[in-house]
Amino acid sequence: LRSLNHCLSPPLHSHSFPTPTPSLPFLTEVIDNTLNPDFVRKYILDYFFEEKQNLRFDLYDVDSKSPDLSKHDFLGQTFCTLGEIVGSPASRLEKPLGGIPGKKCGTIVLSAEELSNCRDSATMQFCANKLDKKDFFGKSDPFMVFYRSNEDGTFTICHKTEVVKNTLNPVWQPFTIPVRALCNGDYDRTIKVEVYDWDRDGSHDFIGDFTTSYRELARGQSQFNVYEVRIMINSRGCTKTVSYVLELTSLFLITHNDLDIDCSTGNPSQSTSLHYMNPYQLNAYAMALKAVGEIIQDYDSDKMFPALGFGAKLPPDGRVSHEFPLNGNMENPYCNGIEGILEAYHQSLKTVQLYGPTNFAPVVNHVARYAAAVQDGSQYFVLLIITDGVISDMAQTKEAIVNGAKLPMSIIIVGVGQAEFDAMVELDGDDIRISSRGKLAERDIVQFVPFRDYMDRTGNHVLSMARLAKDVLAEIPDQFISYMKSRGIKPNPAPPPYTPPGHTHHHTQI
């Protein structure tokens, strides 16, 4: 990113910037004279939920047209992953800027939204009549700012018109904007429009605003697209309402009917996917499940296991879920034994669309609800999570684990693939006990192992299943006992030895 200065400065008065070097693939526009820029230019990125997509944002104060960044003032930088942005509440991530020792560099707000398949564009033109005279000398210099509403009720800037100088009856130039930039293809989504009087120092005067929708705009020039802009003005101690008329004079819709196919690396039919369904051997997920499950199932009386998936769009409406039953049965997610789980897993890969972000907290909380209902020592719950290691809700997951440490439960995490597993090591808590909101977990309930450590060096997925199972299950007995001791729960008396009918039991001392 380049730095910027004024978030409301219209493009007509923005500086041009030299062509970016290969190391800087994306540049924003420059905004004049502000410490709180709101950038209009958006960038389309391919999002692969199974990959850790690292991003770096550098901000500069532009002093010249030089392509050499050292000629400009560095304002700060921050690092994150695309998954962090997508997985944040309302896909809006706020991070502090750093990079300058001993100096607070401010905050950057990053937001993301999945684009719809709408490829339409709209060309529209507006005019206004009798706008408020804001300048002491001369008339106003008005420009318009368009905002798209977000799912959480906030607004994101999506277009600014040029400034029309010295007039109270502006006619702005026609402009073309993708419909998905204006409303993400949702014709009924609110569009907010603000009108300002441009000032050279960046302190633009607010003239008024109105709201509409693309469905309304699509009616074109008509009575439906004549907007009354109202503003409250305090003059000599009295408050009065002033109204102005702003009108859509034309709108042309350009429709694109080209085929859009989205194929990500998460597609199970592709060999690059960790979920690839090879007809000749199990994938890493299935191998890890089989290795651990076949041992731990011996400690379950009925061999019925609830099996959940997280991070997928579900049929028929494409709803994104982070705790869906692999067998598709919301009322009864239980599968019969490990073979039943594997069957449900393979079937789900054919019916759901793998999709990010990757959130752990919902499944941790799901098991915690079961555990919270049975705290008398009669049951103990073990959650096995098999993951590629990319996590989008780290803070929420840490909080869920800290809360779960009070309950009769343990968590096993097996990391598959070649990603860095730093986040999983942190959740493991062997070196530093996990904490959330300043509160330490009562017990260490998480055990993490990377699946790749149990493959041979040729990478052909030959697995020492016994060794994997032994390592991930090694801590479970101590975790089980630590919970029972912390609650003062003692083992039940041993049942009397079984004596066949007609026989007398003899004690043998050894």
Confidence (pTM): 0.50
pLDDT at 495: 58
Calpha distance 386→300 (Å, rounded)? 20
pLDDT at 132: 62
Query: To the nearest 10°, the Cα dihedral for 43, 49, 51, 54?
Result: 40
* E-assigned strand segments in 198-271: 205-213, 226-235, 238-254
pLDDT at 18: 37
Give the max Cα distance, the chain.
Answer: 115
Calpha distance 354→493 (Å, rounded)? 49
Alpha-carbon separation of residue 227 from 163, 176, 192, 208, 216 (angstroms): 20, 20, 12, 11, 11
Distant-in-sequence contacts of 181-186, Cβ < 8 A, 24+ apart: 181/42, 181/148, 182/122, 182/146, 182/148, 182/158, 182/214, 183/148, 183/149, 183/213, 183/214, 184/113, 184/115, 184/116, 184/118, 184/148, 185/116, 185/117, 185/118, 185/120, 186/116, 186/214
Q: Which two tokens stand for residue 234?
A: 């305090």
Calpha distance 303→310 (Å, rounded)? 22
Calpha distance 349→139 (Å, rounded)? 64
Query: What one-letter code names the amino acid at 296?
Result: I
State whether residue 247 is helix, strand or coil. Answer: strand
* pLDDT values of the chain reduced to their tens digit, one per residue, 510 residues: 333 332 222 333 333 333 333 344 688 888 888 889 988 888 888 876 556 688 999 999 988 888 788 888 999 999 988 878 877 787 889 999 999 999 999 999 998 887 766 778 888 999 888 776 665 545 788 899 999 888 677 888 999 999 999 888 889 999 999 888 888 878 888 899 998 888 888 888 888 888 888 888 888 888 778 887 766 555 555 555 556 788 887 777 665 433 222 223 356 766 667 777 777 778 878 888 887 887 777 777 788 988 888 888 888 877 888 888 999 898 899 999 889 999 998 888 888 887 767 788 999 999 999 999 999 998 899 998 888 767 878 889 999 999 999 999 999 988 887 777 888 888 988 888 899 988 999 999 999 888 888 776 555 444 466 677 778 788 888 899 999 999 999 887 755 655 555 555 444 333
Give percent helix, percent strand, percent coil of the chain, each to the nearest 5.
20, 30, 50
Q: Which two tokens stand for residue 296?
A: 């731990």
pLDDT at 11: 31
pLDDT at 75: 93
- Which of 19, 15, 16 lies closest to 32, judged by CA? 15
Calpha distance 327→337 (Å, rounded)? 13
- Residue 366: exposure state from Cβ atoms within 10 A (0-12, 13-18, ≥19): middle
Calpha distance 139→479 (Å, rounded)? 75
Q: Using an 8 Å Cβ cutoff, are 312 and 492 in contact?
A: no
